[in-house]
Amino acid sequence: MKKDYLIKKKLDRMADEIRPPDRVLSGARRAIAENNERQAARQPKRFRAVAAFAAVVIIAVVSVLIYNNVNKDSPLAPNGDQSPSDSQQDATPPPSYKLSELSGRLAGEQDISEITIFDLGDNTAQFYRVYQDKKTGETAVTITKVKSITPQGMDEVLIFADLGGGLQDLQSLKTSGNIYQKGEQKITYTERYEDGEWYTQAYYNKDDTDYYLMIMSPTKGIGEYYFTKIL
Amino acid sequence: MLAVFFAFTGEERERINQLILLIATGDRNALEEFYKSIGGRLFSVALGLMRNRQNAEDVLHDSLIRIVRYAKTFNKGTNGYAWACKIVKNTALNKIKSEGYRQGQNIDCFFHLSSGGDLYEERGRALDIKSAMQNLSSAERLVIWLKYYNDMTVREISQQTNMKKSTVQDNIKRAEEKLKLLLK
């Protein structure tokens, strides 16, 4: 509907002169103060988390060194001789990798056959990354990042497709949490609230491929909405 | 989706976006400036939907909290003013649907504010449009408000006000003619 320029200009001006009472702003001021307090309180927690992580790394390194020393003296592997289980070593070990060990980049046209495109409704934008084995160049993992604008704010969905079947970083999602089922298809998931956002983490297997989901949203229970869209 | 119905210069638009990003970092002064810049316009959007001054103030109060809460999700490449208007609109509609707030019949409460010592400042610049609006009937004022502040189509205004589409069209036409004459 076309608007009259003069009327529009005058009404804009009238709106600019409206000053609702100061109390209207009180809640927002309090919300900002609470955000700042939470932010300040989070700093020492972060430090503690880093310290804990460093301790775990040190313990792991020391354990490996001790283990190697013990094995060096073991009669089962003297002077580099072959161990008794040659036949086991010949068998191909199951694939195993972490995302950090792969080579990641934004997906291009050449990757179109490997990336999965999800229809998650209107007002969404999708971005794709592929992670390849550094030696063979084969695509092991693809990540689809979806940003979706909703009336409540913005949802962010990360979908990891483990094409190589050896991704170790998110294994814990396979067993923990609740179960969502649609037909034969099951999704295991957890949901938690943190810093004003709902975080949903989920796992499912479809067509022999493991998929891991991470959803960040201001809306509680949004996971099930995306599960129905994805399956 | 709510369109951008107030014209801002590129610089103003950029400043509003910057303010939202600063609010996300916890800058209280940015919140004050944001409110000073577009608080009145956001209030107009709320008033168009609630048609009751008290309820519109409640909606604005809650919307500003949401703006603070969701500022970190704001995408800086988009239009900050439209984003804020959308939050106000959704907050108002949620209140009507889920909290049983009643929509008033018209926006006349705005024009019945006393000009001195009220909670609302009156600085004189907008007096001509304000008095021109008071020359319209209640129905004409409402349809103009919904068209210009809430960016509604004839169909949407008809649904909001329970007027026939043809009545809405007639009211808009008559009101615009009167206003143009009075504002000349």
- Give the residue extent of every domain in chain A: 1-91, 96-230
Question: HEC string of chain B?
Answer: CCCCCCCCCHHHHHHHHHHHHHHHCCCHHHHHHHHHHHHHHHHHHHHHHHCCHHHHHHHHHHHHHHHHHHHHHCCCCCCHHHHHHHHHHHHHHHHHHHCCCCCCCCCHHHHCCCCCCCCCCCCCCCHHHHHHHHCCCHHHHHHHHHHHCCCCCHHHHHHHHCCCHHHHHHHHHHHHHHHHHHHC
Q: Do A27 and B64 count as a contact with CB atoms less than 8 A apart?
A: yes
Supply the pLDDT for residue B137: 92
Would you tell me which residues 72-111 of chain B have a C-beta closer than 8 angstroms to some C-beta of chain A? 73-75, 86, 90
Last residue of a domain, one of B86, B104, B122: B104
Q: Is A194 on the interface with B (CB under 8 A)?
A: no
Put simply, whether the predicted model's pTM sits higher than 0.80 gets the answer no
Domain tally for chain B? 2
pLDDT, tens digit only, all 184 positions of chain B: 333 444 567 788 889 999 999 999 999 999 999 998 899 999 999 999 998 888 999 999 999 999 999 998 888 778 898 899 989 999 998 888 877 778 887 888 777 654 443 444 444 555 678 888 888 999 999 999 999 988 889 999 999 889 999 999 999 999 999 998 888 7
- For A198-228, write each residue's pLDDT tens digit: 889 999 998 888 999 999 888 888 888 888 8
With CA atoms as reference, the chain A residue closest to B59 would be A24
Q: Of A76 and A31, which is predicted with more confidence?
A: A31
Question: Coil, helix or strand for A147?
Answer: strand
Last residue of a domain, one of B48, B72, B104: B104
- For A123-173, write each residue's pLDDT tens digit: 778 888 899 988 888 889 999 888 888 877 888 899 999 988 899 988 888
CB atoms within 10 A of CB A9: 15
Contacts of B60 in chain A (CB under 8 A): 20, 24
User: The CATH number of the domain where B11 resides is what?
Assistant: 1.10.1740.10
Q: Which fold has domain A96-230?
A: Protein Transport Mog1p; Chain A (3.40.1000)
* Residues B1 and B46 reside in one and the same domain: yes
List Cβ neighbours of B44 (8 Å cut-off, separation of 6 or more).
A15, A18, B145, B149
Supply the pLDDT for residue B5: 43
Q: Of B42 and A73, which is predicted with more confidence?
A: B42
Q: Do B41 and A12 count as a contact with CB atoms less than 8 A apart?
A: yes
With CA atoms as reference, the chain B residue closest to A30 would be B65
With CA atoms as reference, the chain A residue closest to B178 would be A7
